Chain A
Amino acid sequence: MFIEYTWLVPLIPMLCFLIIGLVGRKTPEKGGYIAIAGALLSFIIAALIAYEYLTGDAYPNPVTEQIAWFQIGDITLNLGYYVDGLTCMMMLFSSFISTLIFVYSIGYMGDQGPRKTRYYAEVSLFLTGMLGLIVSSNFLEMFIFWEVMGLCSYLLIGFWSFRHPEGDAASANAASAAKKAFLVTRLGDVCLMAGLFVLLGEFHSLHSLDYVTLFDPSSIAAADPEMLSLGMLLVFGGVIGKSAQFPLHDWLPDAMAGPTTVSSLIHAATMVKAGVYLTARAYPLFIQNADVMLFVGIIGGVTAFIAATMALNNMNIKKVLAYSTISQLGYMILALGAGGYLVALGMDMGGAEGSALVAAGVAGYTAGCFHMMNHAFFKALLFMCSGSVIHAVGTEDMREMGGLHKHMKITSITMLLGSLSIAGFPLFSGFWSKDLVLEIAMEAGSDGTVWFTVLWILAVITAFMTAFYMFRMWFMTFMGEEGHASQHCHGESPKTMTVPLMILSVFAVLSGFFIMFGLDAMVSFNVTDTAFIVGGGHSEGFYYFEELFTNPYTYLTIVLALLGIGIAYLMYVKKTVDPGRFNRNGESWLYKALSKRWWFPDMYNQISWKFGYGIAKGVNYVDRQVIDGTVNGLSGAVVGGGDAVSKMQTGHVQDYSSVILLGVAILSVAMVAIAMFFGGM
């Protein structure tokens, strides 16, 4: 009875957006309460839907319903919803975390005055985009919400693009960050759009883009495999843009120019999760080709590694978190790629051996989705903690912080829990999912191709780096001597900010255990001859516990994580190890490469400058000088020619008579010539 109302889940935030936009100014907290109420209501409905679906008869088959919207040629476009295990999980954590972020915003954005209206309207629309994307029943509907989110991220990253509290440079910075975010993701979106063209073309005979039709093995079999692979690679281009994967990852650190709550929303509940979600959603199409999945895995693994390196020496508390997000997103994509690779191999192979590979591969799907959820909890927590710190000390530079633990105990402890979780400290939520990711990468390496072994090594090094840079951040902020910003600390943040932190920290610590209580069933991927189904395959008891703790490599990563924390402790609290010894006080080329972000921003600039503005200048020159010049030249010639001819009208009879004489002479010569020619004389 609730599932029929799934469309309400995105619609409620949409209505909030309209209400806040139109009359939000007049409501208390400038629309903040409306936004919270909307997000909470969406969460409650989502919870009821999930409960009804998961306990209902239809489970694990997807429940979908749609109405015809309009037609493109003979293709009918539908509007509808599509509920399965993945939808349920995504809806729940997105709306839940958004609710907490909105509550937190009441405190964090409290001093923004009338501009809060704009803020709450935009975050509501942002949530609409994410929830709409999650419940969409076809690719085109998904794409619309996908772009709506792109717009909202543009607006919110640029929230301080004029009248930034810190002055002009900061607002110019926000304006350019917003532009960069939109354009870089737009590049991905254009790829995605092209991917949709290919899908539309390949599935033309089905007359729709509905998930339920496209994911049917019989319709997949009818499509041309090569074109399908091309289409999925292009769709993955959209994922690369949206989920900030290498080489389009560079917009995300810049996006830190927005308010911290927005970063938290982008990184945890919305936006970057959309790409991972799309990969998981379109899994039945992705796994048709092992090479596509290998590409996905490589992108994920490289992203995880590269982003982690850039976090190592960054001094900005938010940017460290931004790189960690990119790195963790790389993990998710790696898991999906590695698992999908095995599934694709297995489906090609067939037989008992093939089914074994498929059974091993689907664990990658679960690991990727599971990590997505856990990451949402701890990353929302970490960002909100950093927001709380920034709110209190008024700077984002960690060198000016330090010793904040005694000023803000709640923030400090909750952030410690979040850091332990992301670092993969045993039994914390990040530990479970990250180690499942590593395990599937290794399995794809041993059963599939050696590429995944390389990626596994990168991922293990990344785990070490993650532990190091997270604790470097925590120690620099909360431990050690007080920096000069710490001395002006306002003390602990208000209740509206700390209560969400505490709630989230509970999840950041414990959400890993969800997988033993049914979450693995919700996000398991099942391959049968007749269907690809998300949901159903629940492993009994402490399967994952055994699985991880009997794997020797798990202990390797635990040791590496502890080692990372330990080195950070020695460097930044004990100060017995001088970081300057490793980077030659910032002189080593590696240190410079990292602080230059591996020259990615320069590369982006060069490309857009040369291929955009450079060509544009040329085109404009051609337009004004050559094409318009020809037009003006022609008209000039006509006018000039007229002038020249008019000069012949001298008015002297002698001139005219001599011209006549000349004419007569020419004519008579011509006539004689013609007469001779035709007369045959």
Chain B
Amino acid sequence: MEMPILSLLLLLPLIGAVLTLLMGGERQKYAKIVAGVFSAITLVVALFVMFSNDFGSFDESCAWIETSFITINYSLHVDGLSILMVFLTALLTLLVVVFSSEEKDRPKYFHALVMAMEVGLMGVYLAADYFLFYVMWEITLIPMYFMISWYGGPRRHYAAIKFLIYTHVASLVMLIGIFAMGFMTMEMTGVMDFSFAAINTLMPQTSEMFQIAVFALLFFGFMVKMPSFPFHTWLPDAHTEAPTGGSVLLAGVMLKMGSYGIIRVCLECFPEGAEYWQWVIIAIGLISIVYGAYACIAQTDLKKMVAFSSISHMGMVMLGIGCLSDIGITFAIFQMFAHGLITAVLFMVCGMTGHIVGTREIPLLGGLAGKLPIYATFMMIGFMASLGLPGLVGFWGEFPLVYGFYEFAVSNDMLWLILFCLLSLMLTAGYYLWAMQRTLFGPETTKIDLSHVHDVSKPEFVALAVLVVLIALFGVWPDAALQFIDPYVDGLILGVF
């Protein structure tokens, strides 16, 4: 019989979340084990899907609401675009559970929230129906809200509510776009069909005006999530206050929902809209890159700096998408994946700074490498990967992508635009190296008490080591990820542009 494999990817974390919640009282200390086991099984299933050769065979679909004028299906689908995100979600969830295994404060809720996040994220990446997609999109907000407001820092309530309202308003705009697409299908076929299959084939045939308008609605919803200038300010606050595990999931996979949506929905449905808005996308990308990088330099909180660097790097993704070319989109997807791996390391390390040293304020730190060599090594690897050192995965998200943009700039006689990219590459190296100099090197700080600090604990080491190995692996063998992306982008370019 057919196993509903993709449904398993949703069900397993859901069961895990419920079981974790049941681990009350005495059994509270087993919560992490339950969560760990379920997320590990999920990862195994995700890997199974990844290494099977035929993604199409996993498609699932069954009617959810079906009347004569509206069709809503529970349908799941996986392809070259989503599989890397599914893998990243499963991997980071497991690593967050491992990393946070020493969480003392109500561990059962923490791990249940992590597992609930996984349900929502998997749902977004696997959904093949806009209704399901939207429901899952909203579901991800709730665990993240509680994660920030229960486990966060001193200004957690402000950050959590800002995160919730800001991104919720954006998704409402997106919802209008989804309804517009639904009504359009009704006009064209007589049935309001929300499935990807119907909408993504019908929408490219709509009028240019419609494409331009609906593209804008959806794009706004997605770009707030990414987040891009000027709708990014919820991110630094959310990250500063969120617990480490929450930040890892937030930056590692949740931000990618935005860029995933842009490619999956905006590009697949509205090629003419994309061409109309192309310069806007490019401009937003370029501004985000440079703006984010400059903002990083001025930050004094390590974690806030990394949060701004996410804005800069996601701007890179936006830029790649804006090229609307094979290279641009391919490496935008690669950059999403690369950034997911790297930023997880960065947030783990920076979050750790807070709990082992007691502060993340860079001016108070200094000379930590002497006392905490393993911590320092991981931080250095993370920073180097993020600034695009060749041989690590970040370089392949950056170099070809900027080349794709170079081709675009040359063909439009706007070669000087490339200067923004080059400037940001320089600035990125600048803020990371400066941060390392002030945090890790030089004389040991006397402003805080370092007598009780301890280096990376075992579970933390395991989580970081896994990520570092993957960063190096995909760095020397980028084809491991590109083999999934290439066929998808080829299909997209052939079918749409």
A553 CA to B430 CA, complexed, in Å = 47
Contact in complex: A620, B391 (CB < 8 Å): no
Contact B434 A179 (CB under 8 A): yes
* A143 touching B443 in the complex, CB below 8 Å, given contacts A182-B429, A190-B426: no
Which of A416-424, A627-635, A648-656 forms contacts with chain B?
A627-635
Q: With A162-B441, A179-B433, A623-B295 in contact, is A193–B233 under 8 Å at CB?
A: no
Contact of B406 among A143, A169, A191, A197 (CB under 8 A): A197
A224 to chain B, nearest CB (A): 11
Given contacts A72-B400, A197-B418, contact A171 B299 (CB under 8 A): no
Residues of B within 8 A of A190 (CB): 422, 425-426
Is there contact, CB below 8 Å, between B330 and A73?
A: yes
Shortest B183–chain A CB gap in Å is: 29
Q: Mark B401-423, 1 if CB is under 8 A from A, else 0.
A: 01110110010000000100010
When the two chains form their complex, are residues A615 and B443 in contact, meaning their CB atoms are under 8 A apart? no
- Report if A627-B443 is in contact (Cβ < 8 Å); known contacts: A176-B437, A200-B403: no
Within 8 A of B (CB), among A126-143: 143
Asked if A592 CB lies within 8 Å of chain B CBs, one says no
B429 surroundings in chain A (CB, below 8 A): 182-183, 186
Which A residues touch B298, using CB under 8 A? Answer: 613, 616-617, 619-620
The winner among B166, B297, B407 for most chain A CB atoms within 10 A is: B297
Q: Interface readout for B285-316 with A: 1 if CB under 8 Å, 0 if not?
A: 00000010011111100000000000000000
Q: How far is the CA of A151 from the CA of B389 in the complex (A)?
A: 8
Q: Give every chain A residue within 8 A of B230 (Cβ-Cβ).
A: 627
Q: Answer whether residue B165 sits at the interface, using C-beta atoms and an 8 A cutoff.
A: yes
Compute the total of residue contacts between A and B using a CB distance below 8 Å: 132
What 1/0 flags go to A59-89 for Cβ under 8 Å of B? 0000000000111110000000000000000
Q: Hey, which chain A residues are within 8 Å of B443, CB to CB? A: 162, 167-169, 171-172
What's the minimum C-beta distance from B366 to chain A, rounded to whole angstroms?
A: 9
B351-395, CB < 8 A from A: 367, 369-370, 384, 389-391, 395
The contact of B433 among A147, A183, A193, by CB within 8 Å, is A183
Evaluate contact between B441 and A158: CB separation under 8 angstroms. Answer: yes
Nearest chain-B residue to A162 (Cβ)? Answer: B370
For the complex, give the distance between the alpha carbons of A163 and B372 in Å: 13
* Chief secondary structure at chain B's binding surface: helix
Q: Taking A144-B391, A151-B384, A161-B369 as contacts, is the C-beta distance between A69 and B441 under 8 angstroms?
A: no
Kindly identify which residue among A168, A612, A623 contacts B427, using a CB–CB cutoff of 8 Å: A612
Contact B437 A179 (CB under 8 A): yes
- A191 neighbours in B (Cβ, 8 Å): 422
Q: Which of B56-64, B134-142, B478-486 contacts A (4 or more CB under 8 A)?
A: B478-486
Contact between chains at A186 and B426 (CB < 8 Å): yes
B441 touching A175, Cβ below 8 Å: yes
A614 to B194, CA, bound (A): 50
Looking across the interface, which residue of chain B has its beta carbon closest to that of A204? Answer: B407
In the complex the two chains form, is B369's CB within 8 Å of A73's CB?
Answer: no
Which of A72, A163, A176 has the most chain B CB within a 10 Å cutoff? A72
Shortest CB–CB separation between residue B376 and chain A, in angstroms? 9
A619 touching B294 in the complex, CB below 8 Å, given contacts A161-B369, A179-B434: yes
Q: Is the CB of A612 within 8 A of B297?
A: yes
Interchain CA distance A198-B399 in the complex, whole Å: 13
Q: Is the Cβ of B441 less than 8 Å from the Cβ of A197?
A: no
Closest to A186 in B: B429
Shortest Cβ distance from residue A235 to the other chain B in the assembled complex, whole angstroms: 14
B294 adjacent to A616 (CB under 8 Å): yes
B266 CB-CB contact with A under 8 Å: no
A171 touches B294 (CB 8 A): no
Which residues of chain A come closer than 8 Å to B291, judged between CB atoms? 619, 623
Q: How far is the CA of A612 from the CA of B399 in the complex (A)?
A: 23
List B contacts of A635 (CB < 8 A).
162, 165
| CB of A276 within 8 Å of the partner chain | no
Against A, the Cβ 8 Å flags (1 = close, 0 = not) of B220-248 are 00000000001001100000000000000
Of A73, A186, A187, the most chain B CB neighbours within 10 A belong to A73
Q: Do B370 and A619 touch (CB < 8 A)? A: no
Which residue in chain B gives the minimum CB-CB distance to A623?
B295
**A359 an interface residue at 8 Å Cβ cutoff?**
no
The reply on B444 being an interface residue by CB < 8 A is yes
Please name all residues of chain B whose beta carbon is closer than 8 Å to the beta carbon of A623 when the two chains form the complex. Answer: 233, 291, 295
| Residues of A contacting B162 in the complex (Cβ-Cβ under 8 angstroms) | 631, 635
The reply to whether A70 and B391 contact each other, CB–CB distance below 8 Å, is no
Contact residues, A291-345 vs B (CB, 8 A) = none
A162 touches B391 (CB 8 A): no
Bound CA–CA A198/B367 (angstroms): 41
Interface: B487 (CB within 8 A): no
> Is B441 in contact with A178, judged by CB distance below 8 angstroms?
yes
Interface assignment of B442: CB less than 8 Å from any CB of chain A: yes
Contact present for B297 and A613 (CB under 8 Å): yes
Q: Is B327 an interface residue (CB 8 A)?
A: yes
A616/B295 in contact, CB under 8 A: yes
- The CA of A182 and the CA of B422, in the complex, are separated in Å by 16
Whether B442 pairs with A171 at a CB distance below 8 angstroms is: yes
B193 close to A (CB within 8 Å): no
A264 CB to closest chain B CB (Å) equals 23
Q: Is B460 an interface residue (CB 8 A)?
A: no
Does chain A have a CB within 8 A of B326? yes
A194 at the interface (CB under 8 A from B): yes
Task: Assess whether B367 is in contact with A171, with CB atoms less than 8 Å apart.
Answer: yes
Contact B427 A71 (CB under 8 A): no
Minimum CB–CB distance from B449 to chain A (whole Å) comes to: 18
Bound-state CA distance A365–B403 (Å) is: 32
A446 at interface by CB-CB < 8 Å:
no
Contact A143 to B390, CB < 8 A, known contacts A178-B441, A613-B298: yes
Note all chain A residues with C-beta closer than 8 A to B426.
183, 186-187, 190
Bits for A610-648, please: 1 = Cβ < 8 Å to B, else 0: 001101110110010001100100010000000000000
Taking the nearest CB of chain A, how far is it from the CB of B457, in angstroms?
A: 21
CB pair B165–A612 under 8 Å, yes or no, is: no
Q: Could you say which residues of chain B place their CB within 8 Å of the CB of A357?
A: none
Determine the residue in chain B with the shortest Cβ distance to A168. B443
User: Who on chain B is nearest to A118 by CB?
Assistant: B373
Task: Evaluate contact between B299 and A620: CB separation under 8 angstroms.
Answer: yes
> How far is B230's CA from A178's CA once the two chains are assembled, in angstroms?
35
Closest to A144 in B: B390
Expressed in whole angstroms, the minimum distance between the Cβ of B447 and any Cβ of chain A is 14
Question: B residues within 8 A CB of A167?
Answer: 443
Docked Cα-Cα span, A70 to B297, in Å, equals 35
In the assembled complex, the CB of A126 is this many whole angstroms from the nearest CB of chain B, namely 14
Asked if A201 CB lies within 8 Å of chain B CBs, one says yes
Given contacts A190-B422, A623-B233, A628-B233, are A162 and B444 in contact (CB under 8 A)?
yes
A72 in contact with B327 (CB, 8 Å) = yes
CB-CB under 8 A from B482, the residues of chain A are 70-71
Q: Which residues of B contact A178 (CB under 8 A)?
A: 437, 441
Chain B residues whose CB sits within 8 angstroms of the CB of A169 once the complex forms:
443
Contact of A27 with B by CB under 8 A: no
Identify B390's interface contact among A148, A162, A168, CB under 8 A: A148
Contacts of A172 in B (CB 8 A): 441-443
Known: A161-B442, A190-B426. A72 touches B433 (CB 8 A): no
Against A, the Cβ 8 Å flags (1 = close, 0 = not) of B320-363 are: 00000111001100000000000000000000000000000000
Also in contact, A608 and B326, with CB within 8 A (given A190-B425, A627-B230): no
Q: Does B422 lie within 8 Å of A174, measured CB to CB?
A: no
> Which of B234, B404, B433 touches A73 (beta carbons < 8 Å)?
B404
Min Cβ gap B384→A in Å is 6
Contacts A70-B482, A197-B402, A608-B430 hold; do A147 and B390 have CB atoms under 8 A apart?
Answer: yes
In addition to A143-B390, A175-B437, A631-B162, 7 A-B residue pairs with Cβ atoms within 8 Å of each other are A72-B403, A147-B391, A148-B391, A162-B370, A186-B426, A201-B407, A631-B234
**Sample (13) of A-B pairs whose CB atoms are under 8 Å apart:** A70-B478, A70-B479, A71-B482, A72-B403, A147-B389, A161-B442, A193-B425, A201-B406, A201-B410, A612-B427, A616-B295, A620-B294, A620-B298
8 closest Cβ contacts across the A-B interface?
A168-B443, A175-B441, A616-B297, A620-B298, A161-B441, A144-B390, A616-B298, A619-B294
